[in-house]
A and B are shown apart, each in its own frame.
Chain A
């Protein structure tokens, strides 16, 4: 097990852990399908090496898997130094490497990812030195989470007819079709008038023949609801804006 593979194992195991108490296929996790290998391979094949020093070392593609592993360890170290760790440190599992990321509890590993992409040293450097693309760290973290989740629940890295993630989701796999046609809510759209103050027409008044009537809904007053919602949306909008920054 390489350093890169073992550190990525600690990542994918936190995202989709084995849960031995669960029934049947739900007990299995990412490591049961060697997702660490799939993600490592994906990262090492993410992008061709540009002309320059990396290519002159003999790499055809960028060796991003060890970069990812190194970043995860930096994030873990930062979490420890900031005293933001909330779980006890632990001995790494056999599949893990030995760096700090591999020694964090599973939720703390996610907190380390959050530091790397949003709240920690690299995002702060990105703010302070806008000419250096430190934000690429955040891009790699999002990529790691995206690839892990997609591969865990698809055939990515697994050519069998019905990979584990499909079985866990009870997805039967590709189908030729389904007999679920229930007719039409609208038979044909109409070329309605638009743009015009008093000249504008209500859609459902023009001929009525082409559209099936709406069910009518219930008695709630949508206007009242929207007024109410827009007030709370404003308040929450501020909160979200703050979180984003």
Chain B
């Protein structure tokens, strides 16, 4: 039996995944003239080479920014909740591009929901554009990072400039949150480097809205530039419709970094390509990676591509799965140490008169304005943010996800909330009929890495890509305490803002923010290269050493990917002509 065909083209670097972080790395490598091939398991939206990405395979790969099409994005991204976001058959799901097929399997032997997206842009396809930096003490004071916070700052600055990242605009629901925060005694934070408690607008990678939206406006929003405040981040957020591909307001990797990467002329992206093996050879010294075997998700055909360097950017679940399925060495930390920000949700329902008094309108209108535009930082415990959704996701995340049973049988006396747990029946109908007078907050807990938590293989269950990943995660009692602290602060803020009814979900695990399952300092050296194999790097959120304090992880993931790209170029190519930090810190393999 002969093995899979080898690609005739041999890129310098092959990258597994073109999700949230990998395009940052590919762009940086492309800038140095290094040829990069990205293999993405899911579809490529808004690309003329894949005009019907969920119905037919299209052409093999894309390497030109001219392939990118805003018109196609408008056609594909309908902004409807189920059509875009159903985790079973939505366009933004963890599964093959082919809509006739089911999602890919994971074994999750516990309560919880995974919310990951396959496709170019990855989970930034449905993220909310939130780009806070890590909390300073999470890097400098917690024991996990072999880097200093200061090592990341130049990369943060670079991304803040290019996406760009700006303070979110005030909208009525943000003003309601701010007023609650002020009345609860918090100060406004204006600095990017956060060490102290305080409230602030979210640093968001969303283009600032058009000034026309500050007054009476009755146009069709196609004449505007920047954010239209349509709140469709979770549904892919293609606004403003009619704009050029690269000028869409929400700066997910698909519209922000991918065009820049393609523009270098050195990056090729092959969607529908699921990597199944990292190929290695025994070198004169340690094990060396030399390529990747992948499978076309439409044709089933397996191929091999050889390269000087392999980068794994398949995310916190699939990167360790691929590693383990490839038989790469595991000293006990591969896939382990997963952090998830141990989410919670707290909502407040307001009466119309109270709202009129505080924000001058008789409803919160959660569906208007950026989905997440204001936040409260609590370094040491995590963060609290306004997190608003269309009704379906509201009902699912806010009212159907709990580890504390059902609201109808939970006693909340002595608690700062009126109800807790899952809400069903008449109570759910009441909550949802008040959707427009409800403000929903999310708590992102600073949960800490533990070796018990993470990803392993489920040897009893195989799909066409090999044994599937098994996910086990449970909070430490200290994580629960931090979460409870955040939930109480959320309730206090809502109460101060005048909420008449407060609900806490006590959420079951939502695997959306995932970090640190292939951590730098454990599995990787400080340059992002594997400690146990040469020419093998990891550049996704799994490389983060912890949960960055509970700040949304994308900014740090992309910053680290840029930094890893520079170390990769230094070690195996001709270096970086224009290093981002004026005085780069040398990476060490000795950590």
CA gap between A236 and B112 in the complex, in Å: 23
Contacts of B433 in A (CB 8 A): 26, 168-170
Query: Can you report 8 residue pairs joining A to B where beta carbons are below 8 Å apart?
Result: A16-B428, A17-B429, A154-B392, A168-B433, A176-B241, A182-B175, A186-B190, A241-B480
Nearest CB to that of B107 among chain A residues? A133
User: Least Cβ distance of B244 to chain A in Å?
Assistant: 17
Q: In this complex, which of B182, B188, B241 has the most chain A Cβ atoms within 10 angstroms of its Cβ?
A: B188
B86 contacts partner chain A, Cβ-Cβ < 8 Å: yes
Are the C-beta atoms of A178 and B369 separated by less than 8 Å?
yes
Contact partner of B400 among A62, A145, A195, A243, CB < 8 A? A145
User: Least Cβ distance of B336 to chain A in Å?
Assistant: 17
Contacts of B111 in A (CB 8 A): 117-118, 135, 138-139, 141-142
Are the C-beta atoms of B190 and A204 separated by less than 8 Å?
yes
Contact partner of B167 among A168, A170, A185, CB < 8 A? A185
CA gap between A81 and B85 in the complex, in Å: 40
Given contacts A169-B433, A186-B188, A150 and B392 within 8 Å (CB-CB): yes
Q: In this complex, which of A110, A149, A182, A187 has the most chain B Cβ atoms within 10 angstroms of its Cβ?
A: A149
Are the C-beta atoms of B230 and A174 separated by less than 8 Å?
yes
CA gap between A79 and B103 in the complex, in Å: 33
CA gap between A149 and B235 in the complex, in Å: 17
Contacts of B224 in A (CB 8 A): 177
B81 contacts partner chain A, Cβ-Cβ < 8 Å: yes
Are the C-beta atoms of B484 and A237 separated by less than 8 Å?
yes
Are the C-beta atoms of A48 and B174 separated by less than 8 Å?
no
Given contacts A50-B462, A118-B405, A176 and B220 within 8 Å (CB-CB): yes
Contacts of B82 in A (CB 8 A): 150-151, 154-158
Are the C-beta atoms of B214 and A153 separated by less than 8 Å?
no
Given contacts A185-B167, A189-B167, A51 and B462 within 8 Å (CB-CB): yes
Are the C-beta atoms of B222 and A176 separated by less than 8 Å?
yes
B195 contacts partner chain A, Cβ-Cβ < 8 Å: yes
Contacts of A225 in B (CB 8 A): 184-185, 492
A227 contacts partner chain B, Cβ-Cβ < 8 Å: no
Are the C-beta atoms of A26 and B81 separated by less than 8 Å?
no
Contacts of B298 in A (CB 8 A): none
Contact partner of A26 among B216, B429, B458, B477, CB < 8 A? B429
Are the C-beta atoms of A183 and B184 separated by less than 8 Å?
no
CA gap between A22 and B425 in the complex, in Å: 13
Contact partner of A218 among B183, B203, B405, B422, CB < 8 A? B183
Given contacts A176-B222, A181-B169, A217 and B480 within 8 Å (CB-CB): no
Are the C-beta atoms of A191 and B191 separated by less than 8 Å?
yes
CA gap between A99 and B171 in the complex, in Å: 51
B573 contacts partner chain A, Cβ-Cβ < 8 Å: no
B231-258: CB near A (< 8 Å → 1, else 0) gives 1100100011100000000000000000
Contact partner of B393 among A150, A216, A222, CB < 8 A? A150
User: Least Cβ distance of A193 to chain B in Å?
Assistant: 8
CA gap between A140 and B406 in the complex, in Å: 17
Given contacts A179-B216, A195-B149, A134 and B424 within 8 Å (CB-CB): no
CA gap between A107 and B186 in the complex, in Å: 41
Nearest CB to that of B430 among chain A residues? A26
Which of chain A's residues 103-162 have a Cβ closer than 8 Å to chain B?
106-107, 110-111, 114, 117-118, 126, 133-136, 138-139, 141-143, 145-158
User: Least Cβ distance of B54 to chain A in Å?
Assistant: 14
B229 contacts partner chain A, Cβ-Cβ < 8 Å: yes
B177-211: CB near A (< 8 Å → 1, else 0) gives 01100111111111111010010110100000111
Given contacts A15-B424, A180-B171, A180-B229, A142 and B492 within 8 Å (CB-CB): no
